[in-house]
A and B are shown apart, each in its own frame.
Chain A
């Protein structure tokens, strides 16, 4: 374990911390632009976070210790996951052998679970409804997630994200095989679900339908800032997994030099912007559905994951 590797590992976490609000800002601005509005500047999430950190904290009387713990737990979880996945380098760094893909998924889910408990904790009606809805979506999304991970494992014969990355870079025939393409589509639907972009509510988060936002309605001040930042980081991490492990595995730093790491961060962000463009387009072009049709995209992604596994038996 050299000093350079430790620094690179720290740089991975810092990249996720620093760039996640920028990604959110870009997506929000593009969503407005594509609907012919002006939209906020792409640095708006940074300003929002600063404003929230400077504000006073108001805690409901009914809240218990869970209310205080949840934002910290969620934030810490989101800072742990970047250690496990390839963000900047395509070789494992110190401590990245703590867990495989499944371990990363577990920690991501743990963060959501903490926020869920916090939503139920204060006893408000909105928190309860948001928590129950997100649990319902989570229950339906979980089997697909497991199947996608099983599909990746069958594809690469390994559960480590680095191995999958190497395999896809080195063998274009596997990259273009139906098994891999179906996995990409199935994970894309999961990406929409996990970043709260199913076509069952408005793309701007100000409607009664809201799922993720309803859970944190009781929060204010610095704790709210932590939660918002954690959700932006979750989005950034999922985008990273989608880009670096599944869809666009190129352009990671091979030798781990400082310049290479910087270029890798810039390249990663550029690739994320491509994915964000696709997501913004899908979200705008798709018509909004009734709330109780939330299971249809999830059923489709489950089916795609099963097809990926069936297509995998070649070779």
Chain B
């Protein structure tokens, strides 16, 4: 694997970017305002775009520059703009009914990070990659996925749920950038368009919810509950 043998500067740059995006996932977990979620997601996407640019630079993958530009454009501009439009049309500004307080969410998220840490350390040691940036990337990827699942589980607004899904996807994308940087360009493009479809269909869902239920909280969806 190429990225197991990096110069110390590149390794610390990658680790800084990866840890920064993990920190932004925690910002989303610790806040209850929808605008904060959106800002944190945007910043995270820009960090990941910078990360794929630097991976392209240090690993000589020229198509990654294109991926970086597309990531910044789609994840950093188009998706936040679409979600911002949905938020602006709604009357909701924050999570009203929290099942888990933000501080408990933070502690739970920290425990999930520890779990991811143990798992990836184990994997890294058994593959003989212990102590490299690869293990760190694996930790960040696993913990961002777990945090995305946590957001999906404890948040009830439709916007928070779509952002939880996007964080989950950002985590996978970040991991794939460091772990398998030579992924075909076509797959990256397909992923980006998938995301666009997700957000658009969530926009439709939100409209449906507002028209038929009168609220965008999934608490109100009780038809199938016994």
Contacts and interface: CB of A to CB of B under 8 A. Distances in A.
Contacts of A298: 103
Given A173-B8, A300-B30, A303-B26, A311 B19 contact: yes
Contacts of A47: none
A101 B20 CA distance: 28
Interface string B91-116: 00000000000111011011101101
B contacts with A: majority SS: helix
Contact of B113 (A177, A178, A293, A306): A306
Contacts of B12: 173, 176-177, 314
Interface in B114-138: 114, 116-117, 121, 124, 130-133, 135-136
A306 B12 CA distance: 18
Contacts of A295: 103
Interface string B2-43: 000000100110011001101100100010000000000000
A178 B17 CA distance: 9
A299 interface: yes
B23 A307 contact: yes
A295 B20 CA distance: 23
A198 B49 CA distance: 37
A314 B133 contact: yes
Contact of A302 (B107, B135, B139): B107
Given A303-B109, A314-B132, A296 B8 contact: no
Interface residues of B, number: 34
Given A306-B114, A314-B133, A315-B131, A300 B106 contact: yes
Contacts of B11: 314
Interface in A166-217: 173, 176-178, 182
B136 A309 contact: no
B204 to A, nearest CB: 35
Contact of A296 (B16, B102, B111): B102
A287 interface: no
A315 B6 CA distance: 12
Nearest to A143: B107
A258 interface: no
A313 B136 contact: yes
Nearest to B106: A299
B107 A299 contact: yes
A306 B103 CA distance: 14
A302 B110 contact: yes
A139 to B, nearest CB: 13
Contacts of A296: 30, 102-103, 106
A7 interface: no
Given A173-B8, A313-B121, A303 B15 contact: no
Given A302-B110, A310-B116, 10 more contacts: A176-B12, A293-B103, A299-B106, A300-B106, A303-B110, A303-B113, A306-B111, A306-B114, A310-B113, A310-B114
The 5 closest A-B pairs by CB, nearest first: A299-B103, A306-B110, A299-B106, A178-B19, A303-B110
